Chain A
Amino acid sequence: MDAITFFIQAMNGIQYGLLLFLVATGLTLIFGIMGVINIAHGSFYMVGAYLAWSLMGWFGNFWVGLFAGVLVALFLGLALEWLFIRFLYDRDHLQQVLVTYGLILIFSELRSILWGDDVHSVPIPELLSGSIQLTENLAYPIYRLWLSGVCIVIAILMYVGIQHTRLGMMIRAGESDRDMTKALGINIGLVYRFVFALGVSLAAFSGMISAPIASVFPGMGNQVLIVSFVVVVIGGLGSIKGAMVAALMVGLIDTFGKVLNVNILGINILPEMAGMSIFALMAIILMFRPQGIFGKGH
């Protein structure tokens, strides 16, 4: 592999990792702060992608469609928290998994009724449709660079929001001691509603911005959910910093696993077993740190 190809694959890996971070961070926030295992999280990613397809087509403008889609996702998150999730805070994880699995089925049916079962594609907006020429024969798409930049900006905003604002203090306090937070006059129910809606919006937003570089198809939510869980487990349940590190690791390993050739004792390890690479990474990390890289353990 020459240096330029390596560079391009590294950029692809980082971009995929940053996108995974956006999805996984919502999952880890909802678990870390509210204690809820939300296996419907992948459905929000799928809903985002379908919203992008229909709203961007409807408005005829990528940016307006994106804005409208985020608003819809935000209201969807607020409504779901009020209708279902708020009843799960004091329930055990099995009940949380059952209710959120029910949500997966509901969203799958709704998607089929509203949008059908076909595969769709979303065009890249004209403003971001070009490429940067790296060599005579190799170019890197501007859209992918923009996508990575957006993910980095959101990660920084989340860090600042959680570490340096009053709302962030409330969120961290709720994570530490729910009853004491309430006893200080903070409406923790409202804080949780906001966190859940934020998680839903992040997942949907990821689905929206990934739609132009990947197809929009019915099973896309389940695919991303599994990889996001791998990210959350590697990073440590509830850790946003862990989600970032793990997402980049998973993104790079998954990308390079598909392009590298590794042959040991005559057996083609890569790329034949590339699909297993992130699970092998998870197994190795859990052997040494069962609580994940930045997990607190119990």
Chain B
Amino acid sequence: MPVSDSLLTISGLNVHYGLSHVLHELSLDIKCGETVALMGRNGMGKTTLLKTLVGLLPSTSGLIKHLGQDTRGLPTHTLARRGIAYVPEGRGIFKNLSVKENLLLAARPGVRGQKDWSFGRVLDSFPRLNERLNHGGQQLSGGEQQMLSIGRALLTNPDLLILDEATEGLAPLIAQDIWRIIDVIRQSGISSVLVDKNFKALAKLSDRSVVMVKGKIVFDGSPNHLIENPLNLTKWLGV
């Protein structure tokens, strides 16, 4: 996909959990239509960064700009309405709602009125959800929950999809299905930030790799450049 203007610009971002300094002077630029793979070992600050981007955690200092406008202090629901969709690490399924209700709750046109992802298209993309429309959220397998969480995010017709631990804990066949849909999302021009431990799959599907170590970005460049250097993989990702 061609990538152009900046969609999200982060500069000098600092985030604290109480006295603990988690993100240090972090700067990152995500362009429209770009797929960015965010990598790093556990506890390096990836989820903290994602939660800060969607407004679930406050930043201590620094700037976050969405399409050139400062988003600091904006509530999470406003950021969502501006086109930032979030699939959290635990999937965030509403267990007391049916699959259909989980999807319908999210469904709306995008910020520019786009309706690329309809209820029908999501069900076509995830046929397993179609079979379980009236099941409760708590009755789904891990893979089905992840499909529902991604499908639900797509129904908001976002400009940016933030996907934390895309395939964690999923069987290889289900994970393959998730990677397939991530490729479809990428082809459709939605920008995305992906977090996953499968660095090879991420490298195939992303335009850029970003590696975090102890709350700082230590690598920001081409996925091929990252995986061609086994020393860096060992040092930063432990593989």
B56, B101, B156: the one within 8 Å of A185 (CB): B156
How far does the alpha carbon of A195 sit from the alpha carbon of B11 in the complex, in Å? 39
Q: Once the chains bind, are B105 and A173 in contact (CB under 8 Å)?
A: yes
**Contact residues, B100-119 vs A (CB, 8 A):** 101, 104-106, 108
Q: How far is the CB of A65 from chain B (nearest CB, A)?
A: 38
Q: Once the chains bind, are B77 and A182 in contact (CB under 8 Å)?
A: yes
Q: Once the chains bind, are B77 and A173 in contact (CB under 8 Å)?
A: no
Over the window 91-133 of chain B, the binary record of Cβ atoms lying under 8 Å from chain A Cβ atoms (1 yes, 0 no) is 0111111000100111010000000000000000000000000
The count of chain A contact residues (Cβ–Cβ below 8 Å) is 19
The count of chain B contact residues (Cβ–Cβ below 8 Å) is 25
List A contacts of B86 (CB < 8 A): 183
Contacts A/B (CB < 8 Å), 12 sampled: A169-B101, A169-B104, A175-B96, A176-B95, A179-B76, A180-B88, A182-B56, A182-B75, A182-B76, A184-B106, A185-B156, A186-B105
Known: A169-B104, A184-B77. 10 other contacts (CB 8 A): A166-B105, A172-B101, A176-B137, A177-B93, A182-B76, A183-B76, A183-B80, A184-B105, A185-B77, A185-B81
Asked if B54 is at the interface of the complex by the 8 Å CB criterion, the answer is yes
Asked if B152 is at the interface of the complex by the 8 Å CB criterion, the answer is yes
Q: Which residues of A contact B (CB under 8 A)?
A: 166, 169-170, 172-173, 175-177, 179-189
User: Top 3 closest A-B pairs, CB basis?
Assistant: A180-B92, A185-B80, A182-B76
How far does the alpha carbon of A12 sit from the alpha carbon of B164 in the complex, in Å? 56
Q: Once the chains bind, are B97 and A172 in contact (CB under 8 Å)?
A: yes
Q: How far is the CB of A108 from chain B (nearest CB, A)?
A: 36
Q: How far is the CB of A54 from chain B (nearest CB, A)?
A: 40
Q: Which residues of B contact A (CB under 8 A)?
A: 54-56, 75-77, 80-81, 85-86, 88, 92-97, 101, 104-106, 108, 137, 152, 156
Q: Once the chains bind, are A179 and B92 in contact (CB under 8 Å)?
A: yes
How far does the alpha carbon of A293 sit from the alpha carbon of B105 in the complex, in Å? 29
How far does the alpha carbon of A166 sit from the alpha carbon of B96 in the complex, in Å? 14
Q: Once the chains bind, are A170 and B105 in contact (CB under 8 Å)?
A: yes
Instruction: Name the residue in A175, A182, A186 with the highest tally of chain B Cβ atoms < 10 Å from its Cβ.
Output: A182
Given A169-B104, A170-B105, A179-B56: A186 touches B94 (CB 8 Å cut-off) = no
Instruction: Name the residue in A169, A175, A179, A184 with the highest tally of chain B Cβ atoms < 10 Å from its Cβ.
Output: A184
Least CB separation from A185: chain B residue = B80
Q: Once the chains bind, are A177 and B77 in contact (CB under 8 Å)?
A: no
A169, A172, A183, A186: the one within 8 Å of B92 (CB): A183
How far does the alpha carbon of A190 sit from the alpha carbon of B99 in the complex, in Å? 24
How far does the alpha carbon of A188 sit from the alpha carbon of B97 in the complex, in Å? 16
Q: How far is the CB of A175 from chain B (nearest CB, A)?
A: 7
